[in-house]
């Protein structure tokens, strides 16, 4: 079973890396509250602006990818969710993914051990994607589990 889950995660990761269709919102401003993201690790709060969102179509799956930034620490956020259908509801790893990087290096990310990571999409239209996320991810440098809480994003599509 674990081999099957690991293989599924690998297949999805490969599929996510091949973009077939992009609808972007580039360089949103901090004043635009519609295009924002945030999450917490312990008492530390991370937040920024969403600058890109796009849909990827694959033979079987469809994913929405959301990317954001903050000038502090030259940080970037990457979240994605998908499956056979894109709709309001709950997504779990490997159909819900998260990564956070600073200065070009991953700090936190989902992987095959992060089976309790969850994303709840509360609004999904042709114009917007809004959701929350939380759960265990890993610290990229050590592989240690880290709990992400109070995660949220709002993005124009």
| 42-46: long-range contacts, CB 8 A cutoff, minimum separation 24 | 42/147, 46/70, 46/75, 46/77, 46/100
pLDDT (tens, 9 = 90+) of the chain, 157 residues, equals 444 433 334 334 434 444 443 444 444 444 446 799 999 999 999 999 999 999 999 888 999 999 999 988 799 999 999 999 999 999 999 999 999 999 999 999 999 888 899 999 999 999 999 999 999 999 999 999 999 999 999 999 8
What one-character DSSP code corresponds to residue 6? H
CA atoms within 13 A on the CB side of 67: 14
Closest CA to 13 of 148, 110, 136, 124: 110
Q: Where are the domains of the chain?
A: 2-156
């Amino acid at each position: 079973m674990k081999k099957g889950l690991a293989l599924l995660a690998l297949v999805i990761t490969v599929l996510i890396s091949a973009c077939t269709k992009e609808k972007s919102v580039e360089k949103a401003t901090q004043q635009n509250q519609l295009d924002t993201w945030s999450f917490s690790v312990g008492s530390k709060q991370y937040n920024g602006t969403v600058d890109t969102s796009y849909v990827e179509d694959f033979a079987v799956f469809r994913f929405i990818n959301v990317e954001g930034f903050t000038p502090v620490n030259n940080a970037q956020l990457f979240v994605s969710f998908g499956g056979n259908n894109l709709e309001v509801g709950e997504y779990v790893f490997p159909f819900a993914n998260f990564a956070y990087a600073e200065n070009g290096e991953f700090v936190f990310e989902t992987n095959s051990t992060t089976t309790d990571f969850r994303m709840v999409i509360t609004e999904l239209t042709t114009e917007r994607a809004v959701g929350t996320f939380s759960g265990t991810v890993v610290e990229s440098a050590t592989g240690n589990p880290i709990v992400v809480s109070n995660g949220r994003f709002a993005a124009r599509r």
